[in-house]
Structure 1
Amino acid sequence: MAEQYRELSEKLIDFIRAQQLFFVGTAGAEGSVNISPKGLDSLRIISPVEVAWLNLTGSGNESAAHVLENRRMTIMFCSFDKQPLILRLYGEAEVIHPRDEDWEPLSGLFPPHPGARQLFRLRISLVQTSCGYAVPHYDFSGERSTLTKWAEKRGEQGVKQYWQDKNRLSMDGKDTGIIPEKRTL
């Protein structure tokens, strides 16, 4: 039932654009595996072999730490409506911060989000579909505004302080790259 492809077809691109939710999986060389649900209009298809997603400030920053150590990433989409389908994008990712050259052109693809902390660009090496017959039906009733309100209330400096306090290290103690290293002469 599973099919594999080297790139996204127009049909699969349309499927991705219709999704309100996706999941990101990463792992370092050692330590915990991370799987994060994502939403809030935070994924863009750059080409049939490249996608980018905007990472908003949250309680952890595992994906960033993992990608700095091990670039492998999987993004998974599930159909929750009538036509079942699971779609996985496998590849190598890079982390792009607001201080990086590629931030401006890529961040411009997304609506402004307070608390945006990184972008991830995934170069796809394998696309896999599978049946999804056991995935239940769910109806989308709307986005949560909690994260946006939290970031707006903290303000830009408060969010940056949160990065320093809570997002600088992964739960396994690995650097996430969110705070640039200070170089001494």
Structure 2
Amino acid sequence: MGKTYPLLDDRLRDFIRQQPLFFVGTAPSTGGHVNISPKGYADTFTVLDDTTVAYLDLDGSGVETVSHLRDNGRITIMFCSFDRRASILRLYGTGRVVTYREPEFPDLLARFGTRPGVRSIVVVECERIADSCGWSVPRMSLVEERSTLDRWAVREDVRERRGIRAAGDRVSIDELPGFVGGEYDPTGRPS
């Protein structure tokens, strides 16, 4: 049976650290498309305090999460155990996007591993922390993390496209504003 928790205690933090991926769910205020994104790389998620977490927003296919957070802030992060322990942990909360121009960005960035293609950092204030059984989730083993996104992010042609995208406005598939021109560093590093 699932439980709710007032904070991320040591046991929950340990569970989070052990998971090789997590899922992020957001949606626009009205209509539009619900977005669910898998996120990998063990060093891209961190617990900031008892009720606040953050993860790196890496350059990729779209800006759905950023657009939805700027629209209404609603976000759910789900960790799902694929090993012997059948468990799911959901963090429901309000998220915000921190770009490289904001004073807190360098300190937040220092909490993560070094990754190319960082666009922003998503910070989430958890309003509900809840687990559930996960009994129907299959057992699987991690073979290895993929390095594909990191390798892609440092290619010269990708860096050129990133510069073009960073200079213009980016919108979601539902035409919600995501990033405005010049809001993120096209090199993926803080300046």
Secondary structure in 1 matching 2:101: coil
Alignment of 1:1-185 (within 5 A): 1-30=1-30, 31-40=32-41, 41-154=43-156, 156-163=159-166, 168-180=170-182
How far does the alpha carbon of each residue in 1:131-171 deviate from its partner, in whole angstroms, 9 at most, with x for none? 00000011011111111111100365542324457x81111
Secondary structure in 2 matching 1:171: coil
1:177 Cα deviation from its structure 2 partner: 2.3
Contact 1:97 / 1:178 at 8 angstroms: preserved in 2?
no
TM-score, L = length of structure 2: 0.89
Task: Please give the alpha-carbon distance, in whole angstroms, between the structure 2 residues aligned to 1:141 and 1:151.
Answer: 22
Task: Please give the alpha-carbon distance, in whole angstroms, between the structure 2 residues aligned to 1:59 and 1:170.
Answer: 10
Secondary structure in 1 matching 2:154: helix
Task: Please give the alpha-carbon distance, in whole angstroms, between the structure 2 residues aligned to 1:9 and 1:178.
Answer: 37
Matched residues, percent identical? 41
Aligned length: 180
1:96 Cα deviation from its structure 2 partner: 0.5
TM-score, L = length of structure 1: 0.91
Superposed CA RMSD: 1.6
In structure 1, runs of 5+ residues without a counterpart are: none
Change (3 A) 1:164 1:37: farther
* Structure 1 consecutive aligned stretches of length 4 or more whose deviation exceeds 3 Å: 154-158, 162-165
In structure 2, runs of 5+ residues without a counterpart are: 184-191
